[in-house]
Amino acid sequence: MRYLFFCFYLLLICSSNAQELSPQTKLVDFKKIEASIALDTLSKSVIGKITVHFQPKENINAIFLDARGDYKITSNTLKHTTKFEDQKIVISGKFDADQKYEASFSYKVTPKKALYFWGWNEKNTDKNTVNRKQIWTQGQGKYTSHWLPSIDDMNDKIIFDLHIDFDENYTVLSNGLLSKTTTKSNTKTWSYSSSKPISSYLVALVIGKYEHRITSTVNSTVIENYIYPDRKADFESTYRYNKKIFDFLEFEIGIPYPWHTYRQVPVRDFLYAGMENVGCTTFDDDFIVNKNTFEEKNLINISAHELAHQWFGNLITERDSKHHWLHEGFATFYALKAEKHIFGNDYYYFKLYENAELLDRQNGQKNSTPLVSKKANSLTYYQRGAWALVALENLVSAPNFKKIVKEFLTNYATKNVTTDHFLSIVLKHTNKDISDWSKKWLFNNDFPTREALKTLTESDFMRQYLQLAGERTQPLIGKYQYVSKALNFPVNPYLASETVTQLYGETSPEANVLLEKAFKTEHPLVLKTIAETFDKIPAAYESKFRKLLSSDSDSTVEAALYQLWNTFEKHKKTYLELTKDKIGDNNKNIRTAWLALALNTPGFSNEERALFRRELNQYTFPNHPIGLRKFAFQFLAFSDNYTDQSLLNLAEAATHPNWRFNKFCTDTIINLLQDVKYEKRFLHLKQQFPNKVKKLVTTE
């Protein structure tokens, strides 16, 4: 049972990308794109000069580069005519087959997507919030040609050399080697080169205020990890095990890291959890964590996943989205292996089990598709993809699997691949019949739950867990002795937590004995499960729940506060007093819940209520992280405290480029419109809303 304020942070890492082979790719081989880029933060525009190096495969009269948006060509080389037409930049001239050419032009564009300006005209709403001014790119699923004329088809791999001019007080990051920097007055130029050809969706540009630390791996690759200057204290917990993950994956994959330097950089308002740009991974700054939050939220999975993409996706690239599992399945598989290396076998099997549950549920809903398909969803590409590789490794043996992967990466380095390329190498390294495997895991509609279960039950722990989970529907009296064992020392947190969830709604003396035993484990995961499970706290346990308010875990505190407030009517004010100084995670999970509870507790701190209202409304402004804004929008609805400005902020947020956030805001608006009182207020404000929201507010 989830308590009222439980918020689920949906982890989806990078989107899939539908691609058709463009005619340009057949006619021309683009070798290199050199770009000098300046950025105007006032008009949110890109001013660029491009030199494109290319070699036609046939005699042709024109080439084109993709250029999506409102491009203006400001000058071009005398030798060729360059014009912007139909979302393309067309360069005309007589180009003979197999000859080398270069052409240059200058342009200006205000990107609608793929390059985002953040915070350059934001007002600071309170002194405790750092206004982050950033520019960053997201190529996958968005098309890099929105800001950099290039080829959107990922089958044309090109060397990108980027020279970026910007204010010297900022850090500017891109792919590959930083070959030089020069400074003229206050403007600095950073020159980066990708050295090997890459697909354009993997080009990155990140600008912001950062500090960084450098580490070197076993094979002497330089890792640069970036952090905000005001979050330096969280560097260690954010990047914990980073070098261990890198060294492990390089060994496990069996091919040295294929790029020059590896950079990891947090960005605000990110569209996904992370993105594997070549040699320059960006990740959502919500994954900057402190030492207390590390246990329940950390960068490890994302860090390992994006690093694995440096081989799977970046070095070898799918021919089209039908083979997207070759990116996401492999990245998810190797991230799981890295986590197993750090957190152990139980963690690994439990994750596999959770993913199998989701995939099996998808079977039940008749939503499954083959893995090798353009129509598969993220769950299938990522989790089923990883499961398919677990099954393959079991079938062909680990040493053979390693040989297969090594040959696959070596043969197709910097090229584009399909599932058949992979399968033909699998066949070379095993005498096992793989037809049953490929049918069940790659080509059948349904996820093979039965096969997955066989793999899971190889683990003693998983057998115990599945047996215990099988008791969920049994009455406590009959299973008491059995489930009680799961709380014995040494505690297995997964088994103990499973027992705690089976106590939901139980009020018998036996249930209390088990709850007592669960508290005694003192394991953070078990205590968190207790806080989240009991929506009516047994009176005898009030003091024990009260102790949870001092937990290091922000989600345990948030849950315990709500359950105590909800259960003990007479002590509501006491619990609010006890937690009035707690803030919580990056999104102020405890503080925002506290404000909503305070506003919903009649008579509590009458003199400060206006301040509480103001504070909660303040968190809706765009200078705050989207996770915090989401809490604020949610709790303002819960406590009925929206100001007009917050409704305007909500309407603006419904057009945010992060689709999960804009969907949440759109849904919130639709829900509020059900209430006549809000409907009137929306109508009153309608003219100030963006068009998307205007359409939701109808005047019937």
What residue ranges bind Zn ion (CB under 5 A)? 13-14, 328, 331
Distances in whole angstroms, Cα of residue 365 to Cα of each of 12, 229, 359, 372:
21, 47, 10, 20
State in angstroms the smallest separation of the CB of 202 from Zn ion: 12
Q: Nearest to Zn ion by Cβ — which residue?
A: 14
**Torsion angle of C-alpha atoms 151, 154, 159, 163, degrees rounded to 10:** 60
In angstroms, rounded to a whole number, what is the distance separating the alpha carbons of residues 474 and 476? 6
State in angstroms the smallest separation of the CB of 217 from Zn ion: 21
State in angstroms the smallest separation of the CB of 118 from Zn ion: 23
Residue closer to Zn ion (CB basis): 328 or 558:
328
Contact in structure between 204 and 314 (CB atoms under 8 Å): no
Tally of CB atoms within 10 A around 224: 18
Residue closer to Zn ion (CB basis): 328 or 532:
328
In angstroms, rounded to a whole number, what is the distance separating the alpha carbons of residues 419 and 18? 16
In angstroms, rounded to a whole number, what is the distance separating the alpha carbons of residues 495 and 339? 19
Residue closer to Zn ion (CB basis): 322 or 429:
322
In angstroms, rounded to a whole number, what is the distance separating the alpha carbons of residues 339 and 308? 13
In angstroms, rounded to a whole number, what is the distance separating the alpha carbons of residues 612 and 632? 12
Contact in structure between 361 and 339 (CB atoms under 8 Å): no
Q: How many Å is the Cα radius of gyration of the chain?
A: 27
Residue closer to Zn ion (CB basis): 249 or 549:
249
State in angstroms the smallest separation of the CB of 13 from Zn ion: 4
Residue closer to Zn ion (CB basis): 149 or 274:
274
Tally of CB atoms within 10 A around 230: 11
State in angstroms the smallest separation of the CB of 329 from Zn ion: 10
Residue closer to Zn ion (CB basis): 202 or 590:
202
State in angstroms the smallest separation of the CB of 306 from Zn ion: 7
In angstroms, rounded to a whole number, what is the distance separating the alpha carbons of residues 309 and 331? 6
Which helix (H) or strand (E) element contains residue 636?
helix 626-639
**Nearest residue to 445 (alpha-carbon basis) of 372, 392, 385, 388:** 372
Give the three-class secondary structure for 382: helix
State in angstroms the smallest separation of the CB of 449 from Zn ion: 24
In one-letter notation, the amino acid at residue 694 is K
State in angstroms the smallest separation of the CB of 39 from Zn ion: 27
Tally of CB atoms within 10 A around 347: 16
Give the three-class secondary structure for 486: coil
Residue closer to Zn ion (CB basis): 371 or 456:
371
Residue closer to Zn ion (CB basis): 17 or 419:
17
State in angstroms the smallest separation of the CB of 1 from Zn ion: 32
Q: Say if residue 490 is preceded by a cis peptide, omega within 30 of 0.
A: yes
State in angstroms the smallest separation of the CB of 222 from Zn ion: 23
Which helix (H) or strand (E) element contains residue 164?
strand 159-167
Residue closer to Zn ion (CB basis): 149 or 329:
329
Residue closer to Zn ion (CB basis): 80 or 309:
309
Quote the Cα angle for 264-269-274, to 5°: 35
State in angstroms the smallest separation of the CB of 335 from Zn ion: 9
Residue closer to Zn ion (CB basis): 417 or 599:
417
Distances in whole angstroms, Cα of residue 87 to Cα of each of 146, 151, 413:
9, 12, 31
